[in-house]
Structure 1
């Protein structure tokens, strides 16, 4: 899905207009902004830096509030996430430069977006578009804006994390799986992550299959729980177990992650994960996702 449009032309920004290091302000980490991208964009963005969110993102969509950042994306698949930083609320003073505003947003967390490798794609008036590109196409975008308080992030949007480079995928809080040929698989099909520390679930791992990319749950979740932190959760198909035998009728999903293979019981009630040494674990399944508040 390619969201770029042919709206009015704005002048590309000169990278030299923005300082890559802060003086007496927020530190801009090395690598956050790339001064000389390895590949020029195939189609430089020519749209506005402030716009309404495209109509396909309704109120319940994970893309709600993405605005112009969504328009800047060039995804191979559907956009993954987007939003308005202003909607999330911030009473802080702005940063001293656009680069510092991007650094602040990266430090606060860009959800499942790259935390480095951005370039200045466009600057117009009091806004700057930072793009994270793969093969010359924008896979993540952050727009920062200047007002009386200074510079701050305004909107952001990203393609599915499977479209990022491997070195950026490895730095995400989620785990992107691959298919049997080593190609990254969309997180709408499979994704996993470690449990939240504030719920004392950091020893647990959650994997979701077929969660979709429209914010409407229709998938199934499986839980790795070696310390029994989730044993009391209702709706689990069984219990976690290690060193089990892979059933003869288990179905190989074809999904792989760091040498692990993901298999399912014939009725999909639980998952089996086999590691590179051949050891197999049984992960209980659940029809509804487990939440941590």
Structure 2
């Protein structure tokens, strides 16, 4: 498509300082150096239907031409169209400002800097975030009588972003024992939502549902007991516990921590770099915050 397809993710984030790229455009959002240019620029359309293999209920529905611009090593992770603006809403004064507005209103699950103009066609501009000369995230902005708006967007799995951008996401990308980023379809973490007063709760989900959404088994680090009374927890959270002799190492690592599981996968054990072990209760169905 330039690649294959897949899924979407949760969370929340924000944007940065303003600078010289134009009013309301964060420093570093757009890069212009020649070395950022790909070996083979995207030559396809900037307005297109979503590929037929994307089903109606897919988290990639609506990605259109942005999906076509991707060059993922694996499957795309998220995509969609931006249809929040009503007919009376004003657009941005420039394509760059439309990109900045899209980032500011986003979920924080795609890079918030390092984009470049890869293509212009009429009243549309393709902004691409590239790694090793290949497009890992794409946003297409379009101009109409109201101004500039983000139109479609798509991204590869966050494990395909650079480490410095992964560290700024609203989700936590884990690594394997060799320090390589692991697909969020296998393991992903995030902090709970502030509007539910869950910001002290850390979630880790292993695996995903058949439709690609995060519906695998979930584990909770809940030192303040915010979710201690919910149904379906396999145990309680505990700090400084012994690592059971039969615990199974998943091979997943994150900031010096190791993720281990009980043999029946009902509980997780997370060992810090200093050897301290925490027990995280598990739950077969993910906990939701509305």
Normalised by the size of structure 1, how large is the TM-score? 0.90
Instruction: Find out whether 1:56 has 2:53 as its counterpart.
Output: yes
Distance in 1 between the 2:259 and 2:175 partners?
Answer: 10
The two structures, once aligned, show a CA RMSD in angstroms of 1.7
Q: 1:265 aligns with which of 242, 262, 266?
A: 262
| Post-superposition offset of 1:40 | 2.9
| Cα gap change, 1:252 to 1:188, in 2 (>3 Å) | same
| Post-superposition offset of 1:218 | 4.8
Distance in 2 between the 1:178 and 1:242 partners?
Answer: 23
Residue aligning to 2:138: 141
| Cα gap change, 1:176 to 1:101, in 2 (>3 Å) | same
Distance in 1 between the 2:214 and 2:143 partners?
Answer: 37
Residue aligning to 1:224: 221
| Post-superposition offset of 1:92 | 2.7
Q: Which runs of 4+ in 1 moved over 4 A?
A: none
Residue aligning to 1:156: 153
Aligned length: 275
Residue aligning to 1:287: 284
Distance in 1 between the 2:214 and 2:175 partners?
Answer: 22
- Would you say the 8 A contact 1:37–1:119 is kept in 2? no
Matches within 5 A, 1:51-200: 51-86=48-83, 88-90=84-86, 92-109=89-106, 111-200=108-197
Residue aligning to 2:21: 21
Distance in 1 between the 2:50 and 2:245 partners?
Answer: 49
Q: Which structure 2 segments of 5+ residues have no match?
A: 5-19
SS of equivalent residue, structure 1 residue 68: helix
SS of equivalent residue, structure 1 residue 33: coil
| Post-superposition offset of 1:60 | 1.4
Q: Which structure 1 segments of 5+ residues have no match?
A: 5-19
For each residue in 1:150-196, what CA deviation from the matched residue of structure 2 results, as whole angstroms up to 9, or x when unmatched?
A: 00100000000000001100000000000000000000000000000
| Post-superposition offset of 1:43 | 2.2
| Post-superposition offset of 1:39 | 4.0
| Cα gap change, 1:231 to 1:109, in 2 (>3 Å) | same
Residue aligning to 2:3: 3
